[in-house]
């Protein structure tokens, strides 16, 4: 196995273990000596991987993923830039920042002239409605989706009626004018969606909901295809 493939493997092994792993274990799993493992860890860290090692504990990797060397066409580059600009403007918050960071990471490894070409990608995103209040919940919602956790919310519908619900959020829709959480609603025992800006209170819980988000999304798509398509 080539060294570069092994480095990808190492990342992968670290990703699998949520708990710290000792270098000894990692080396055994990769079939290399501990000495080489230390070198590999150093190489990955130099490439930007967020690996921390603590004496007496082991190594952990902050969630993330590593791409091997990859070739993109001009169109693909422009598409990535335009998409990231849109996320940066319209999603805002930590996700928007993440879009900017992703572009900055890409730019930082390009030679100067290509970096300029990337900055000068002349595809612009028009202004949208100002980010409305309530979108402060977006990060919490994304986290709950990622971890498949129930949320307890207070919601005010179009007519001004408020209700308390426990929901299983499994997707987040970005519309031109609103962000909509798509959920299973325990109150109605059915799929329901909620505009993020009409959620007046949102509490995270530690309760994992009993189904997989991918399955919920699939079922919802089949039932509700007309309302929000991917």
Contact of 156 with 173, CB cutoff 8 Å: no
User: Minimum CB separation from a copy of itself for residue 176, in Å?
Assistant: 4
User: Minimum CB separation from a copy of itself for residue 22, in Å?
Assistant: 22
CA distance 102 to 92: 14
User: Minimum CB separation from a copy of itself for residue 14, in Å?
Assistant: 12
Using CB distances below 5 to 8 A depending on partner kind, what does residue 54 bind out of a copy of itself, DNA, none?
Answer: DNA
53: helix, coil or strand? strand
Using CB distances below 5 to 8 A depending on partner kind, what does residue 208 bind out of DNA, a copy of itself, none?
Answer: none
Q: Which residues bind DNA (CB under 7 A)?
A: 2-3, 6, 21-24, 31-36, 38-42, 53-59
Strand pairing report for 190-195 and 179-185: antiparallel
Quick one: which of 177, 190, 186, 201 has its CA closest to 224?
A: 190
Nearer to DNA, 60 or 118 (CB): 60
DSSP state of 209: P
Taking residue 72's Cβ as centre, other Cβ atoms within 10 Å add up to 11
User: Minimum CB separation from DNA for residue 16, in Å?
Assistant: 16
Nearer to a copy of itself, 24 or 116 (CB): 116
Nearer to DNA, 51 or 77 (CB): 51
Using CB distances below 5 to 8 A depending on partner kind, what does residue 99 bind out of a copy of itself, DNA, none?
Answer: a copy of itself
Q: What are phi and psi for residue 206, nearest 5 degrees?
A: -95, 0
CA distance 156 to 126: 30
Nearer to DNA, 56 or 210 (CB): 56
């Amino acid at each position: 196995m080539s060294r570069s493939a092994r480095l990808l493997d190492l990342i992968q092994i670290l990703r699998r273990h949520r708990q710290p792993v000792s270098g000894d274990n990692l080396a055994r799993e990769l079939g290399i000596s501990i000495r080489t493992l230390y070198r590999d860890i150093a190489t990955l860290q130099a490439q930007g991987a967020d690996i921390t090692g603590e004496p007496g504990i082991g190594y952990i990797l902050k969630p993330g993923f590593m791409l091997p060397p990859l070739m993109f066409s001009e169109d693909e580059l422009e598409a990535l830039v335009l998409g990231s600009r849109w996320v940066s403007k319209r999603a805002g918050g930590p996700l928007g920042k993440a879009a900017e960071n992703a572009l900055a990471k890409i730019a930082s490894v390009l030679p100067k002239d290509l970096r300029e070409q990337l900055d000068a990608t002349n595809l612009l995103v028009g202004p949208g409605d100002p980010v409305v209040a309530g979108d402060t919940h977006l990060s919490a919602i994304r986290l709950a989706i990622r971890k498949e956790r129930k949320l307890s919310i207070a919601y005010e519908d179009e007519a001004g009626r408020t209700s308390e619900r426990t929901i299983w959020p499994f997707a987040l829709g970005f519309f031109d004018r609103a962000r909509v959480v798509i959920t299973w609603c325990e109150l109605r025992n059915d799929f329901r969606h909620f505009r993020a800006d009409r959620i007046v209170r949102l509490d995270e819980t530690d309760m994992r909901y009993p189904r997989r988000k991918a399955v919920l999304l699939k079922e919802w798509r089949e039932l509700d295809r007309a309302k929000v398509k991917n």
